[in-house]
Amino acid sequence: MLGLFLAFLSSLFWATNDLLSKRLLVKGLDEDFTLWVRFPIAFLLLTPLGLYFWDFSLRVFTYSLLWLPLEVLGGLFFIRALKHAPLSLAMSFYSFMPVFSALFGWLLLREKPSLYGYTGVFLIMVASLLIAKFSPRELLKHRRGVFYMLLSAMCFGLNVVIGKLSVIESNAFFFSWYYTLLMSFGVLVFVKPKEVLNLQNYRHKEVPLVGLFFALGDLFYNIALLYTLSSYVASIERFSLLLTLIYAKVFFKERVENLTLPALLMVAGGFLLAFA
């Protein structure tokens, strides 16, 4: 139960992070800069925890060689999906991440969700698709953004499992800090130097908040992985979709209706996971 609660808190922080990222993109900031800037800010905020709970090892470094390239690719696909598709449609396809987490969790960690667990994951997935009113027409209209988001979901689904291996090998506090450190350099190579050096980019009020909310989401997410299955954590994180769609409706005037049934399905799915 504690792991699910922490995963839910993480979903709230990351939903707010998605909103702020979208606002920066709407303002015209470069998508690669928007993706990158959260990491150095989060790194600075998490530095006291990272140093106090220092727990570096050769195995943690080895895992880094696996998850870092996937995480960078997943982030690049994610930010491009937000650019090429409405926020609501893009995030609905991100809901497939728990499926990839369940698959890779079984292959790498031998995690076996119970029948209740599989049912809960399925209900949350269905709810996510209902929220966005998925239709073939919308998929074809924004297929580029949808394709980017599915690739992102696959990369992140695998990295949930590799990340759990890293957290188990060290600890959640150190790994959260270590993760933002490596991502600061990993994503930087894709950002135009002029964007990094342009001081005007840092004067948007959303920039420091992106780093703050990402740091909080990252920390709670990694702690949650210690208390429950990786696929369950990935599923509960999909609660962020509800808040994200509320943001989409309020701030971007995207058409989002009939949230009652999907919300009930998500709650039912979360309830089943709690007793899985």
How much is the average pLDDT of 32-55? 96
Write down the pLDDT at residue 274. 67
Instruction: State pLDDT tens for residues 236-249.
Output: 877 777 777 777 77
Q: Which of 265, 158, 229 minimizes the C-alpha distance to 7? A: 229
pLDDT at 267: 73
Count other C-beta atoms under 10 Å from residue 167's C-beta: 23
pLDDT at 49 over 70: yes
pLDDT above 90 for 96:
no
Q: Which of 200, 175, 199 minimizes the C-alpha distance to 68?
A: 175
Q: Please state, in angstroms and rounded to a whole number, the distance separating the CA atoms of residues 141 and 150.
A: 16
The Cα-based distances of 17 to 10, 65, 105, 164, 213 in angstroms read: 10, 26, 26, 22, 6
d(CA 96, CA 9): 20
- Residue-level pLDDT at 238: 72
**pLDDT tops 80 at residue 157:** yes
- Residue 178 pLDDT exceeds 80: yes
The pLDDT > 70 percentage for the chain reads: 90
Given a cut of 60, whether residue 175 has pLDDT beyond it is yes
Q: Which helix (H) or strand (E) holds 243?
A: helix 240-252
Torsion 255-258-263-266 (CA) sign: negative
Q: Residue 18 has what pLDDT?
A: 86
Do 238 and 89 meet the contact criterion of CB atoms below 8 Å apart?
A: no
Q: Are 100 and 158 in contact (CB under 8 A)?
A: yes
| Euclidean distance between CA atoms 119 and 268, whole angstroms | 10
Rounded distance between C-alpha atoms, residue 11 and residue 15, angstroms:
6
> Where residue 3 falls among pLDDT bands split at 50, 70, 90?
confident
Q: Is pLDDT at 276 greater than 70 in this prediction?
A: no
pLDDT in tens, 203-227: 999 999 999 999 999 999 999 999 9
What global pTM score does this model have?
0.81
Give the C-alpha separation, 1 to 27, whole Å: 40
